Structure 1
């Protein structure tokens, strides 16, 4: 019987898998310093991790979103904070497609450039001649310490009053700031994802030229299928990180269970029926959630290749993202509980998995309220679509 050929592995995915042992070895260091070490950032950068979503026309890789998803997942399996920062750097760089060509090339044609920032419109941008004066402070600016450019979302004002797109809808835009013009505040003392350096960033009355700002509600200037994908792509990496962390938790519990003897019962932890059941449930949760996520990513990308993506497809994508993240958290919980006492110590990767996965479940893009939004659309209601 002739076996089917093994599909080739993309070089960047292969590199992510090769990096995994070194990343895992340095997880404690990453967590204690509360940011990624500069040498690891350089290694990820040289590999092209931060260029996954940059348009090919600017020298980027412009990968299929399902491939980017798997690369982020592989890095997060090795170390959750590394996977998260890879996701932030790659996903914010896709904004290159919305900038005027001259600016996009100036920023993103440099192979070493890394971007980050916060899209939430927490700042204010006063309209002035030639651009905007932006003031704001944004939390959760992950990986900002190693970025060359940072993006901040802001409410646009004119004469001190919100500028309206239409009745009841104020204008919001995203602005590119050179990193040297941004003040970083060391506020990241969190329960999980400690190594992401997700402190606050701030600008005060910073002039930003018109060509360094954009709106996601405008069509991208680079008309390629990746940029027709719903801008939820910025959060697509969240379930990828969660699934990577969950897979690491299953790995850790499996290894522990085959070695640890339960003293009172005089048998391996792996022989406990409750542990066997937990592993089965976790495996099913992770693999089914991952399959749903990848199936939806492929379907939505195919739709984006043909034209605009429907509201229902956007809702299904958000549902798949939320489901994968929350299913991953449940799988980690099962592995942590099955491990017993050893999991509570900082020397155990399981307690880090627990803290990391429950930190990312708090992100607004995958929090429980998204189920109300997606459920309403699936039931035929017509809620506001910008949040998709």
Structure 2
């Protein structure tokens, strides 16, 4: 068994372990520390750290399969794994020293938010940083937390080649960060995606991505479109939740009887049609999702930059996967009837989790607008695409 196959198998085994703890995870509003440590030990937090720095450097497909498998056990676990893995892509612009410090332990967790909500003022040896970031998924358990910042020197923001303020991710040690208790939400509660803030903290220069290291490594992982792995994390979690809901509904209708009938709901034609439709929708969406990843990853093995067509196709596949996953979960929630509304039913949590996942900006309707313009050959802004 290859390293990548073994990683996916670990995720499947862990999904079986975390599934019975779903209510506990949701009530805690974060991944319990023992599960977080186990996820780190399994390698899920360093899937996109390059091999020369002690990482696994797996393909985007393998990473997505890990998130999908974890989400079948608990959506929050899959979500935190993809946030952690994609955060480490910023390590491509950090020094070896910085990466060694941030990932010092085998279970080290680094998370972050790329949005430039911080101001980093240049001082001797580094930066003084103040800022506040929302959506800090996984941050309650993180050893290091990154935040996007505008760099300021001599009172003026540093500009990029387009004349806009430069956005750099700076990494803060856990004890420099104040966690804000904002994460009281309808779904994905266990992700611990609370806001966090720093106030006039010092960050050494080598912990600022892109300051000392100007160019990315010449490796397939960094030839892959930069924002695609983040979007694929949302899609993979959605697919995992949908599979879990379909499996749970199948179990329920095989046991449940209604209206004094001695036959289970599975004997009804309506039930059979709904299950068949859900299987078709989910399998088709999943096939397109992984097909586009595989095509882009094959192209990334060459030395040339990937064409915009690959980004277009992957982003379309992600949005489609999420939309179809929502349709499957909704259908299964309805099919199971009143059983779905009880707190002991995984279906009620899967219903809430999937609808929160749809609110991520990586799968907003704007993405489909951009994709449509590209297919139509219209002038299109593709920044962040």
TM-score normalised per structure 2:
0.93
Which residues of structure 1 form unaligned runs of 5+?
1-5
Of the candidates 122, 138, 147, which is equivalent to residue 117 of structure 2?
Answer: 122
Structure 1 residue 294: Cα displacement: 0.6
2:111, 2:138 within 8 Å by CA — same for their partners in 1? yes
Flag the 1:262–1:53 CA change in 2: closer, same or farther, 3 A: same
Alignment of 1:302 onto 2:298 = yes
SS in 2 for 1:184: strand
**1:99–1:221 contact (8 Å) kept in structure 2:** no
Which of 185, 193, 199 matches 2:194?
Answer: 199
Counterpart check, 1:370 vs 2:361 = no
- For 1:260, the equivalent position in structure 2 comes to 256
Offset, 1:222: 2.6
Structure 1 residues 134 and 100: alpha-carbon distance in aligned structure 2, compared to 1, 3 A threshold: same
More displaced stretch, 77-86 vs 94-103:
94-103
Which residue matches 1:329? 326
Write out per-residue CA displacement over residues 162-220 of structure 1, whole angstroms, 9 at most, x where no aligned residue: 4332456332111111111111112111100111111111011223233222259x975
2-structure distance, mates of 1:383, 1:155: 26
Equivalent residues of 2:38, 2:107 under 8 A apart: no
Aligned to 1:283: 279
Aligned length: 382
Q: CA RMSD in A?
A: 2.1
Taking the aligned partners of 2:105 and 2:87, their CA distance within structure 1 comes to 15
> Retained in 1: the 8 A contact 2:253–2:336?
yes
2:316 is matched with which residue? Answer: 319
* Higher alpha-carbon deviation: 352-361 or 108-117: 108-117
Contact 1:148 1:178 in 2 (8 A): yes
- Taking the aligned partners of 1:97 and 1:84, their CA distance within structure 2 comes to 22
**Cα separation, 2, equivalents of 1:261 and 1:215:** 61
Take 1:263 and 1:92, find their aligned partners in 2: how far apart are those partners?
A: 52
- SS of 1:173's equivalent in the other structure is strand
SS at match of 2:359: coil
Which runs of no fewer than 5 residues in structure 2 stay unpaired? none
Shift of the 387–44 alpha-carbon distance from structure 1 to 2, 3 Å rule, reads same
